[in-house]
């Protein structure tokens, strides 16, 4: 019997690729949005995250999901979660890059121009290596925005959070070189409706901002349970309030957080998401009692940006895998990439991938440039709009990319099956689709000028393109029908996202990309599938621009 050592006509797996240098759209976006100084650093990180070892790390961390050890062998509670070493390696790599804190390093050093863009680019690369560990990266970075509302707590915690050396050990943060933070909002009876929280917080002494409270209740979802502390909502005497709840108390004792179970999830399997109960857990109030939602929303604004970046990153990974497969796989005697029908599908995917990346990095840039009205309006209005649109299109995108690999795409080893299972979570957590719509409605009520400003600037950039101008005016029309707006909030968000994407492409991408995007998406019928409405486009040029291997 002979064994085939040489396997013909199977493509090389997509790995051992520099994820930064091979991604032209990413490189251009980073440079344009103010992160150019970090390009050498991103080239190195792109090499490390795209290596075969890094992809193997991602596989191992997901094939060996975390396990809860609630008790020791004697029946005493220990409440620890054990992870595969590969997960810890991902954490160490990403923390070394500062993905858990880089938005706020100006607090202890010189301000770095483009800090949010550079961090977004790093997250974009890390998510392609392994997406699950990006959850603690995101929450830790974002938690600083809320901690700053309570300067005494910020003084003791923020310098620790800014440490870049990951320490997996379960011990007081005073003994560690760094810290990670999680978030506890969602309870059984309500996630979106956090005001329905039933966990209570009683003042240990006098209470008030920075004061100590005892928390009793539960959280139904609390991810990254081995974080060093959590920002939690609970009902204080003055109303729903935000607390810093550490795993260890200042005297070194373990705080009273009792993990009940870990969630059995569709994807995101390397990351632990716990159910937790607490009875008399110590927490320190951030801000005033009754201002919990206002406090935690500072954090959530940052986590929503990361949802957009992560979805765009996973779309890029799926696209790059599909293109490289089709460059090598022959069917009916010709490589797939040369076959017109496949070229239409790949080009159509490339248009959405570039649109998602352009929006993600334009938004990250708006987090850096807070001095201009336009950027403030972008951050305010486009954070929920981008979170809605990019995260919403990613699952179907991942499916279509998977199909480009045929049967191999559906098989676990390949990696796209994991991407397909991962992407829906970005649409669900940090505010689901309709919640983004309600958020946009609130912004329209409170700051009507912000949406008008975003639309005005898009219209300025559309100059001369009738299809784009007409589309922008359709979106603007919706604003003039406020009574219908709630039911139409998704229409408004999708319309505005498409307007922003088309405008960004028109200004920053070659004409063969922007014309195809505008022609295929703003004209003609809706409810299209990939590979339709693109017959007049230069599909070969679009695919060549997106190709990671040249």
Ligand X SMILES: Cc1cc2nc3c(=O)[nH]c(=O)nc-3n(C[C@H](O)[C@H](O)[C@H](O)COP(=O)(O)OP(=O)(O)OC[C@H]3O[C@@H](n4cnc5c(N)ncnc54)[C@H](O)[C@@H]3O)c2cc1C
Q: Which residues bind ligand X (CB under 6 A)?
A: 182-186, 190-193, 221-223, 265, 268, 273, 425, 428-429, 432-435, 438
Pairing of strands 257-262, 273-286: antiparallel
Q: Are 170 and 255 in contact (CB under 8 A)?
A: no
Nearest distance from residue 294's CB to ligand X, in Å?
16
Q: Tell me the HSE value of 458 on the side-chain side, using a 13 A CA sphere.
A: 33
Of the two residues 193 and 412, which places its CB atom closer to ligand X in the complex? Answer: 193
Of the two residues 48 and 247, which places its CB atom closer to ligand X in the complex? Answer: 247
Nearest distance from residue 312's CB to ligand X, in Å?
19
Nearest residue to ligand X, scored by beta-carbon proximity: 191
Distances (CA, A) of 486 to 378, 492, 493, 520: 21, 10, 11, 28
Nearest distance from residue 119's CB to ligand X, in Å?
20
Nearest distance from residue 191's CB to ligand X, in Å?
2
Nearest distance from residue 276's CB to ligand X, in Å?
10
**Could you tell me where the DSSP H helices lie in 281-415?**
292-328, 340-368, 373-377, 383-404, 407-410
CA angle 37, 42, 48 (to 5 degrees): 160
Of the two residues 304 and 329, which places its CB atom closer to ligand X in the complex? Answer: 304
Of the two residues 177 and 482, which places its CB atom closer to ligand X in the complex? Answer: 482
| Closest of 307, 297, 113 to residue 195, by C-alpha | 297
CA distance 121 to 129: 13
Number of H helices, E strands in the chain: 21, 11
SS3 call for 99:
coil
Of the two residues 380 and 387, which places its CB atom closer to ligand X in the complex? Answer: 387
Task: Say what the alpha-carbon torsion angle 7, 10, 15, 17 is, to the nearest 10 degrees.
Answer: 110
SS3 call for 70:
strand
Nearest distance from residue 157's CB to ligand X, in Å?
18
SS3 call for 415:
coil
Of the two residues 276 and 462, which places its CB atom closer to ligand X in the complex? Answer: 276
Nearest distance from residue 212's CB to ligand X, in Å?
22
Contacts of 460 (CB under 8 A, 6+ apart): none
Nearest distance from residue 139's CB to ligand X, in Å?
7
Of the two residues 326 and 436, which places its CB atom closer to ligand X in the complex? Answer: 436
Helix (H) or strand (E) holding 427, with range, is helix 424-428
| Closest of 427, 426, 436, 425 to residue 380, by C-alpha | 436
Pairing of strands 229-236, 181-184: parallel
SS3 call for 12:
coil
Nearest distance from residue 410's CB to ligand X, in Å?
23
CA distance 98 to 93: 9
Of the two residues 187 and 375, which places its CB atom closer to ligand X in the complex? Answer: 187
Nearest distance from residue 134's CB to ligand X, in Å?
12
Of the two residues 486 and 523, which places its CB atom closer to ligand X in the complex? Answer: 486
Nearest distance from residue 509's CB to ligand X, in Å?
32
Of the two residues 425 and 499, which places its CB atom closer to ligand X in the complex? Answer: 425
- Residue 239: phi and psi, rounded to 5, are 115, -175
CA distance 11 to 127: 23
SS3 call for 497:
helix
Of the two residues 191 and 531, which places its CB atom closer to ligand X in the complex? Answer: 191
Nearest distance from residue 489's CB to ligand X, in Å?
9
CA distance 362 to 7: 44
Of the two residues 145 and 537, which places its CB atom closer to ligand X in the complex? Answer: 145
Q: Are 261 and 219 in contact (CB under 8 A)?
A: no
The two structure tokens encoding residue 279: 């009875």
């Amino acid at each position: 019997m002979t064994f085939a050592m040489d396997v013909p006509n199977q493509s090389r797996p997509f790995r051992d690729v520099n994820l930064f240098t091979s991604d032209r759209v990413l490189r251009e976006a980073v440079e344009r949005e103010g992160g150019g100084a970090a390009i050498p650093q991103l080239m190195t990180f792109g090499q490390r995250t795209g290596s075969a070892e890094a992809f193997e790390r991602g596989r191992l961390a997901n094939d060996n999901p975390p396990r809860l050890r609630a008790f020791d062998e004697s029946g005493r509670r220990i409440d620890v979660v054990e992870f595969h070493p590969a997960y810890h390696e991902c954490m160490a790599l990403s923390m070394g890059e500062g993905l858990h804190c880089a938005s706020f390093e100006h607090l202890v050093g010189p301000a770095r121009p483009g800090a949010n863009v550079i961090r977004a680019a790093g997250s974009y690369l890390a998510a392609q290596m392994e997406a699950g560990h990006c959850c603690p990266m995101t929450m830790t970075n974002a938690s600083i925005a809320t901690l700053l509302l309570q300067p005494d707590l910020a003084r003791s915690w923020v310098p620790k959070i800014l440490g870049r050396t990951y320490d997996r050990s379960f011990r007081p943060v005073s003994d560690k070189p760094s810290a990670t933070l999680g978030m506890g909002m969602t309870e059984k009876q309500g996630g979106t409706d956090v005001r329905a929280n039933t966990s209570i917080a009683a003042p240990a002494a006098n209470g008030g901002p920075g004061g100590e409270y005892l928390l009793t209740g539960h959280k139904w979802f609390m991810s990254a349970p081995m974080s060093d502390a959590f920002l939690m909502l609970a009902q204080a005497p003055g109303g729903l309030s935000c607390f810093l709840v550490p795993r260890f108390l200042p005297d070194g004792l373990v705080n009273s957080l009792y993990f009940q179970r870990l969630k059995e999830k569709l994807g995101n399997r390397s990351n632990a998401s716990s159910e937790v109960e607490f009875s008399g857990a110590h927490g320190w109030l951030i801000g005033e009692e009754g201002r919990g939602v206002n406090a935690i929303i500072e954090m959530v604004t940052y986590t929503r940006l990361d949802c957009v970046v992560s979805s765009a990153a996973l779309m890029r990974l799926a696209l790059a895998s599909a293109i490289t497969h089709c460059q090598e796989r022959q069917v009916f005697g010709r490589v797939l990439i040369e076959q017109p029908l496949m070229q239409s599908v790949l080009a159509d995917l490339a248009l959405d991938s570039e649109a998602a990346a352009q929006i993600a990095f334009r938004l990250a840039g708006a987090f850096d440039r807070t001095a201009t009205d336009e950027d403030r309006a972008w951050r305010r209005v486009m954070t929920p709009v981008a979170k809605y649109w990019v995260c919403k299109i990613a699952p179907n995108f991942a499916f279509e990319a998977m199909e480009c690999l045929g049967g191999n795409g559906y098989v676990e080893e390949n990696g796209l099956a994991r991407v397909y299972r991962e992407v829906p979570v970005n649409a669900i957590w940090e505010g689901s689709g309709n919640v983004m719509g309600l958020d946009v409605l609130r912004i329209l009520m409170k700051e009507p000028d912000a949406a008008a400003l975003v639309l005005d600037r898009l219209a300025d950039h559309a100059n001369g393109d009738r299809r784009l101008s007409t589309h922008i005016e359709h979106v603007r029309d919706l604003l003039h029908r406020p009574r219908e707006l709630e039911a139409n909030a998704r229409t408004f968000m999708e319309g505005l996202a498409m307007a922003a994407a088309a405008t960004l492409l028109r200004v920053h991408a070659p004409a063969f990309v922007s014309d195809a995007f505008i022609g295929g998406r703003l004209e003609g019928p809706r409810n299209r599938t990939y590979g339709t409405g693109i017959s007049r486009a230069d599909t070969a040029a679009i695919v060549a621009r997106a190709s990671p291997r040249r």
